[in-house]
């Protein structure tokens, strides 16, 4: 009889201790993923993810974060008792998206076997009116006097016909951009053609605006940009050689580029310091050139600044200047 009592006294505390050790929180979501389907671009979609503590200990949400384009609000409770429920409300921001978007919410918990849970929100944003392939036109690396044309399509995503008013153009350089709108499918699909040309080098900008009959897209804005090259130009036009340690490269390269039909010749190079040396050679079979500038091993440790002058046969640009900086940090 005494033996039985001893066994009972020993077994009962052991069982209680085992139960305490194995008791843990757990989390079960009603739904971990929500797809809103097709939505109007610009709408903010909201959903509340509901969950329950299906474990034996308090459930704690340590942290709730979301990827770009999504906002998540932590549960209305930080600690959820066994059997109780909680919520995480999240918003999906569709502005700026014109194709399927998928965003993620990360929930960090004190659940041993599930320390991080991923919730998913997705949608297919569409606008009443889409501009394809994108609502921006750029003309890059053009020669002076060169004419270039770009085309966009304006698509109606609704059942009701799309009506476009006459485009208006403004901005810094509206006279350099010529445009025309033609009908591909009446009320459904239109083509916008923009042509650019300039006799001068530089960067040019304008903005095209087209009013529509659509409530959710009353106006289409299309930024226009262009870059026209000089006859001869440098890539880059400044060199920085850093000397933080011995592993830093002690040389830099600059390209002398010709955008004209006339052959470019390098007549000479002038250095304003004895601590640099250079090597210049054609790039392949073109009349563009690559100049590599080397810092000599015996150069002093202090900062060295100056300008390298490149002489050419181009009448407009007989001399090109390359600024340089040599030191431990970047220069201006």
DSSP string, 55-98: SSS-EEEEEEEE-TTEEEE--S-SEE-TT-EEEEEEEEE-TT--
Fold of domain 232-327: Immunoglobulin-like (2.60.40)
Q: Percentage of the chain surpassing pLDDT 70?
A: 90
Q: Is it the case that residue 9 has pLDDT exceeding 80?
A: no
pLDDT tens per residue, range 137-147? 999 999 999 99
Q: Which CATH architecture has domain 129-228?
A: Sandwich (2.60)
Dist CA 87 CA 103 (whole Å): 18
Q: Give the model's pLDDT for residue 7.
A: 42
**Average pLDDT, integer, range 304-311:** 96
Dist CA 243 CA 214 (whole Å): 60
Q: Give the model's pLDDT for residue 107.
A: 93
Start and end residues for every CATH 2.60.40.10 domain found in the chain? 25-126, 129-228, 232-327
25-126 CATH choice from 1.10.510.10, 3.40.50.300, 2.60.40.10, 1.10.3470.10: 2.60.40.10
**pTM exceeding the 0.75 threshold for the entire prediction:** no
pLDDT tens per residue, range 67-78? 887 887 766 667
Q: pLDDT higher for 20 or 29?
A: 29
Q: pLDDT higher for 9 or 168?
A: 168
**Average pLDDT, integer, range 97-108:** 90
């Amino acid at each position: 009889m005494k033996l039985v009592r001893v066994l009972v006294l020993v077994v009962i505390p052991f069982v209680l201790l085992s139960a305490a050790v194995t008791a843990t929180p757990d989390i079960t979501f009603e739904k971990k993923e929500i797809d809103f389907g097709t939505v109007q671009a610009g709408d903010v979609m909201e959903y509340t993810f509901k969950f329950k503590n299906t474990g034996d200990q308090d459930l704690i949400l340590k942290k709730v974060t979301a990827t770009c384009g999504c906002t998540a609000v932590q549960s209305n409770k930080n600690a959820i008792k066994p059997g109780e429920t909680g919520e995480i409300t999240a918003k999906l921001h569709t502005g700026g998206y014109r194709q399927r978007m998928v965003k993620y919410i990360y929930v960090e918990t004190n659940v041993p076997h599930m320390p991080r849970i991923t919730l998913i929100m997705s949608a297919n944003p569409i606008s009443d009116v889409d501009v394809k392939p994108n609502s921006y036109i750029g003309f890059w690396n053009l020669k002076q006097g060169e004419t270039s044309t770009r085309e966009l399509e304006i698509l109606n995503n609704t059942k009701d016909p799309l009506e476009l008013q006459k485009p208006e153009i403004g901005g810094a350089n509206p006279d350099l951009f010529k445009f025309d709108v033609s009908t591909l499918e009446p009320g459904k699909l239109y083509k916008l053609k923009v042509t650019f040309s300039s006799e001068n080098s530089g960067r040019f900008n304008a903005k095209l605006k087209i009013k529509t009959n659509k409530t959710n897209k009353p106006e289409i804005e299309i930024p226009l940009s262009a870059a026209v090259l000089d006859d001869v130009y440098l890539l880059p036009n400044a060199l920085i050689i850093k000397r933080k340690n011995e592993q830093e490269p002690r040389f830099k390269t600059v390209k002398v580029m010709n955008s004209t039909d006339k052959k470019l010749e390098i007549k000479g190079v002038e250095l304003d310091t004895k601590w640099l040396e250079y090597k210049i050679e054609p790039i392949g079979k073109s009349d563009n050139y690559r100049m590599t500038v080397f810092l000599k091993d015996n150069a002093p440790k202090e900062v060295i600044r100056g300008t390298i002058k490149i002489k050419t046969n181009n009448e407009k640009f007989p001399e090109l200047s390359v600024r340089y900086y040599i030191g431990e940090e970047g220069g201006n």
